[in-house]
Chains A and B, each alone.
Chain A
């Protein structure tokens, strides 16, 4: 600085070299160190301050989503409890598959079966008559084993069988999926739209079919329903395979009866020559 003589400035610097005492240095540096620690604590406290509300929000969101899921599942659960008493009416249905399609908890890991179960009660639930819940397991249960032809009443009309088959797929996708895949129909998914569609189907044609089976004679309903269900559950290919198997086993009479039923159910279906010939 030009206002101060450089010689004077140099002399001042040489003469003035005193500094603060060491104790003062230590006290100030210690205070500075404490000051550094404060912001870190403040950061941690800020995190802790936000952690509680964040966890509360997360818990709330989780609870709401679970509640919504439970609410969605609830109709299925109620109807499944109504379905449980039905399995004893299954005649000839394999126990394992019947259990799989009727027990609510058994198929938790199998998503398609679980969704099928949800849909089955949804399809049956609107039915006002008390006989309907008893028929639900029959509808839901696949019936791969043949029934004696003598006990089979007349098969449902073909026009009725097709929507009934669709309904059966909606009701028991676990059983119907493989056949649906064979016929090029996409496997049913447990979405709301399909559920609505299934319930619509149930409301007009499917329940109508069930109702058509029930009214003729309450005593005969026990026999009629499995047979009709058999027609509903089976695809034509599966039925023909069954008839073919009966023929191979030499059970010609049963095969003929089954074939007659098949032709009633599917009059327009082209039956292979091997089955027609004796």
Chain B
């Protein structure tokens, strides 16, 4: 990013090739709609390009990139009148709340029957995750971010992110049990 800021166009291409897929999938899994994902993806990279002149490496580029993406996604949801709901209400000590029950069984089997692939089932299960858990999962999988980085991006504590990830994994496993 510093090289791109200093006028090296090839540096941006490297960044873009590296992060185009993860960022696009982050939006696609969060929105569930390719058109919205396209719009958000393009908007984030335009913001990256616009901010390149004043870019200072205060954090990893990945953290910076996904923080922009997270903020953009929050704006998108607000625009749609939605608020990302955390089903795990953290208590005062920051400990995890009660385990969220699995998504309704009626929708999952239909999708599972349609796709017949474990991967597709996983993606479907991911889509059924609560937004904050899905986001934590996607930031970890697509961005390769650490718990601390995800916590920084999401604006919550590290333990909260840890809980979200644990519950997300458990739910996905649970969803995939019927396909094994």
Contact = CB atoms under 8 A, between A and B. Distances in A.
A32 B20 contact: no
Given A36-B7, A39-B53, A4 B137 contact: yes
A15 B127 CA distance: 13
Contacts, number: 97
B12 interface: yes
Given A1-B165, A3-B147, A8-B173, A15 B119 contact: yes
A105 B45 CA distance: 73
B140 A35 contact: no
Contact of A25 (B20, B147, B176): B20
Contact of A9 (B38, B45, B141): B141
A14 B119 contact: yes
Given A4-B140, A8-B169, A31-B49, A21 B123 contact: no
A14 B122 CA distance: 10
Interface in B20-36: 20-21, 24-25, 28-29
In this complex, the member of A1, A14, A27 whose beta carbon has the largest number of chain B beta carbons within 10 angstroms is A1
B89 interface: no
A33 B16 CA distance: 12
From B21, B37, B45, B173, name the one whose CB has the most chain A CB atoms within 10 angstroms. B45
A1 B158 CA distance: 13
B165 A32 contact: no
A31 B28 CA distance: 22
Nearest to B167: A3
Given A4-B141, A12-B141, A20-B20, A32 B122 contact: no
B147 A1 contact: yes
Contact of A16 (B12, B25, B45): B25
Q: Is the interface of B mostly helix, strand, loop or mixed?
A: helix
Given A21-B38, A40-B7, A16 B123 contact: yes
B146 interface: yes
A20 B26 CA distance: 11
Interface string B110-143: 0000000111101100100000000001001100
A11 B50 CA distance: 36
A277 interface: no
Contacts of A1: 140, 146-147, 165
Given A4-B140, A13-B141, A35-B52, A25 B16 contact: yes
Given A1-B140, A4-B165, A29 B46 contact: no
A16 to B, nearest CB: 6
B60 to A, nearest CB: 15
A15 B9 contact: no
B140 A3 contact: yes
A19 interface: yes
A32 B9 contact: yes
A14 B117 CA distance: 11
A5 interface: yes
B166 interface: yes
Contact of A18 (B24, B140, B173): B24
Given A20-B24, A32-B4, 18 more contacts: A4-B137, A4-B141, A5-B169, A9-B141, A11-B118, A12-B123, A12-B126, A13-B141, A15-B117, A19-B24, A19-B25, A20-B42, A24-B38, A24-B42, A25-B16, A36-B9, A38-B53, A40-B7
Interface of A: 1, 3-5, 8-9, 11-21, 24-25, 27-29, 31-33, 35-36, 38-40
Interface of B: 4, 7-9, 12-13, 16, 20-21, 24-25, 28-29, 37-38, 41-42, 45-46, 49-50, 52-53, 117-120, 122-123, 126, 137, 140-141, 146-147, 162, 165-166, 169, 172-173, 176
Closest 9 CB pairs of A and B: A15-B119, A3-B165, A20-B24, A19-B21, A32-B12, A28-B45, A35-B49, A36-B9, A32-B49
